[in-house]
Amino acid sequence: MNKWIPFTAVPIALAGSVTPGFANTYMSVERAQQAIFPGETFTPANVNLTLDQQKTIESRTQTHVRSRELKAWKVSGGAWFLVDEVIGKHEYITYAIGLTATGAVKQIEILDYRETYGYQVEEPGWRQQFVGKTAQSPVKLDEDIRNISGATLSSRHITDGVRRLLATYNVALK
Amino acid sequence: MTRARPLLGTIVEITALSSERSLCFAAINHAFESIEKIQRKLSFHDRSSLLSEINLHAADRPVELDSQTFSLLRTAHELYMVTSGIFDITIAPQLESNGFLPKSSHVNYQRSFADIDLSTEGCVRFRRKGVRIDLGGIAKGLAVADAVASLRTMGVKAGCVNAGGDLEVFGDCMLPVRIRDPRRRGDYVATIPIKNLAVATSGHYFANRIHPSATVGPFVDPRTSLLSSAAQSVTVVAPDPVYADALTKVVIIDPETAATVLPRFDAAALMIDYMGTVFCTPNWHASIQAA
């Protein structure tokens, strides 16, 4: 009675279907600003890192600076609000970080998470499945499925990104 | 409203379903804070955590615990007893020797939960030196349960907390949940409708290390100290996320014994074995539909 039985999917399950990459958008930049620094005002203050600064940051953190343009805002009271992107093997994560006036991490909010897999993009049928889909189509259903239970997604890339931004603060914002 | 933050070594996503945006916002903040507290308290890696204090000092003196941590250790003890030692939080040394946790000087394979004394309310003591505990197999479940409780306290009646695959859907809402397929990245074994239920998945897929004999995941059979390789992915559904989280490890180590233990916790499981065949317990479909 308490034995394992072969799994057969009930009709609701989309068993075995190859689904496109998974993506969730959580927050706009503006909402993240208010989430991390409620009531403060923000002045755009993008920074273009010099080649020397890039090299210093990379050697200090053993990370790769993909873009020398840093999306930054000065927050009233001397704090900083930064938006950064990290790229893993299959995932792209945009996140916002608030740094206090002394350069400590105040809070991190993930803005956007995307997962893609090479073979899905390469397969010619993959893009085709979006063509002509209506709001009621399965693609819409896929987009509605936000939750995935699977082996833990690592947040290591974000951890590396935060280290890189803290070094960037010391090199270019302090 | 759904927000996400990097916590517990993964990405934690919290959904509050309510038309009052300011309520959702404040409640999600509160829920993230409760997870941060658990992270600080139970981290194996952070030397200033309560868990580190236990591991450093409980062999010399009783260590006082807050009620949440004490009750978690009680739950771990219950699972140890019910599973005849398959679930054992003292396996940290074995994991270290296989490279899954930071190495430390004392490595001892001859320790078990029997070396932990919880007879004094609110205190833990190790009966011998060399015992160390790791709550990695159960802490995510606790974090999910606690975050759901925080949301409810703040007045959110329905929603979801997903800590990198350990999740709970609560209140009057049904959310579809996909189960990752370990055989093909980006693919899914099934999509299941979840309502008032917790789901947890453990697998070898993102944590593999190359072991001389085989590719192994971070699962040790505490009874033999051998790395387990019966299943490559296991999903458990149960009313309580702590049990769902813990029971995935029990199924991975010993699916046969697990099948007899799962009903005690109103739990059901789906397993993909090393041949890639998908199995489930007889109550799998009923458990999902009943909720």
- How is residue B139 written in tokens? 């802490």
Number of domains into which chain B is organized: 2
A76 φψ region: left (φ > 0), alpha (ψ -120 to 50), beta (else): beta
The domain in which residue B230 lies consists of 174-290
Report CB contact under 8 Å: B178, A145: yes
When pLDDT is cut at 50, 70 and 90, the band that residue A123 belongs to is: very low
Number of domains into which chain A is organized: 1
Residue A157 contacts residue B8 (beta carbons within 8 Å): no
CA dist list (Å): A91 to A88, A115, B183: 5, 4, 18
Q: Do B179 and B285 lie in a common domain? A: yes
pLDDT digits (tens, 9 = 90+) for A44-98: 999 999 999 999 999 999 999 999 999 999 999 999 999 999 987 778 899 999 9
Smallest CA–CA distance, residue A12 to chain B, in Å, is: 7
Q: Which residues of B touch A120 (CB under 8 A)?
A: 186
DSSP annotation string for A75-139: ETTS-EEEEEEEE-SSEEEEEEEEE-TTS-EEEEEEEEEEE--HHHHHSHHHHHTTTT--TTSHH
Spatial distance between the Cα atoms of B8 and B39, rounded to a whole number of angstroms: 6
Of A7, A21, A110, the CB nearest to B186: A21
Residue of A14, A17, A113, A147 to mutate, testing the B interface (most B Cβ within 10 Å of its Cβ): A147
B36 and chain A: CB distance < 8 Å anywhere?
A: no
Smallest CA–CA distance, residue A106 to chain B, in Å, is: 13
With respect to residue B271, please indicate whether it lies within any of the assigned structural domains.
yes
With respect to residue A2, please indicate whether it lies within any of the assigned structural domains.
no
Report CB contact under 8 Å: B205, A109: no
The domain in which residue A141 lies consists of 22-123+134-173
CATH number of residue B189's parent domain:
3.10.520.10
Residue B107 neighbours by CB under 8 Å, 6+ apart: B93, B96, B97
Residue A143 contacts residue A134 (beta carbons within 8 Å): no
With respect to residue A107, please indicate whether it lies within any of the assigned structural domains.
yes
Which stretches of chain B score pLDDT less than 50?
104-108, 205-216
Q: How large a percentage of chain A has pLDDT more than 70?
A: 70
Q: Do B243 and B178 lie in a common domain? A: yes
Spatial distance between the Cα atoms of B190 and B179, rounded to a whole number of angstroms: 6
- How is residue A162 written in tokens? 């935060």
pLDDT the model gives residue B200: 95
Spatial distance between the Cα atoms of A158 and A153, rounded to a whole number of angstroms: 11
Q: Which residues of B touch A7 (CB under 8 A)?
A: 189-190, 270, 278-280, 284
With respect to residue B87, please indicate whether it lies within any of the assigned structural domains.
yes
With respect to residue B191, please indicate whether it lies within any of the assigned structural domains.
yes
Q: Which residue type sits at A90?
A: H
pLDDT the model gives residue B287: 86
**Closest listed residue to residue B198, CA positions, set B180, B230, B219, B175:** B175
- How is residue B160 written in tokens? 């979801």
With respect to residue B226, please indicate whether it lies within any of the assigned structural domains.
yes
| Helix (H), strand (E) at residue B235 | strand B231-238
Spatial distance between the Cα atoms of B107 and B227, rounded to a whole number of angstroms: 16
Q: What is the mean pLDDT of residues A141-155?
A: 58
With respect to residue A163, please indicate whether it lies within any of the assigned structural domains.
yes
Spatial distance between the Cα atoms of A110 and A24, rounded to a whole number of angstroms: 10
With respect to residue A153, please indicate whether it lies within any of the assigned structural domains.
yes
**Closest listed residue to residue B142, CA positions, set B243, B218, B47:** B243
Residue of B8, B10, B11 to mutate, testing the A interface (most A Cβ within 10 Å of its Cβ): B11
Report CB contact under 8 Å: B165, A151: yes
pLDDT the model gives residue A133: 36
Q: What is the mean pLDDT of residues A13-42?
A: 78
Provide φ and ψ at B70, rounded to 5°: -60, -45
Residue B150 neighbours by CB under 8 Å, 6+ apart: B27, B30, B31, B33, B34
With respect to residue A71, please indicate whether it lies within any of the assigned structural domains.
yes
Smallest CA–CA distance, residue A113 to chain B, in Å, is: 9
Cβ contacts below 8 Å, chain A against chain B, sum to 171
With respect to residue B27, please indicate whether it lies within any of the assigned structural domains.
no
Of B165, B190, B285, the CB nearest to A152: B165
pLDDT the model gives residue B91: 77
pLDDT the model gives residue B217: 53
Provide φ and ψ at B251, rounded to 5°: -65, -40
When pLDDT is cut at 50, 70 and 90, the band that residue A3 belongs to is: confident
With respect to residue A99, please indicate whether it lies within any of the assigned structural domains.
yes
With respect to residue B11, please indicate whether it lies within any of the assigned structural domains.
no
Q: Which residue type sits at B100?
A: F
With respect to residue A57, please indicate whether it lies within any of the assigned structural domains.
yes
Q: What is the pTM of this model?
A: 0.84
Q: Give the end-to-end CA distance of chain A in Å, rounded to a whole number.
A: 67
Q: What is the ipTM of this complex?
A: 0.80
Residue A132 neighbours by CB under 8 Å, 6+ apart: none
**Closest listed residue to residue B51, CA positions, set B167, B141, B138:** B138
B7 and chain A: CB distance < 8 Å anywhere?
A: yes
Q: What is the Rg, in whole angstroms, of the alpha carbon atoms belonging to chain A?
A: 21
pLDDT the model gives residue B130: 86
Q: Which residues of B touch A22 (CB under 8 A)?
A: 186
With respect to residue B154, please indicate whether it lies within any of the assigned structural domains.
no
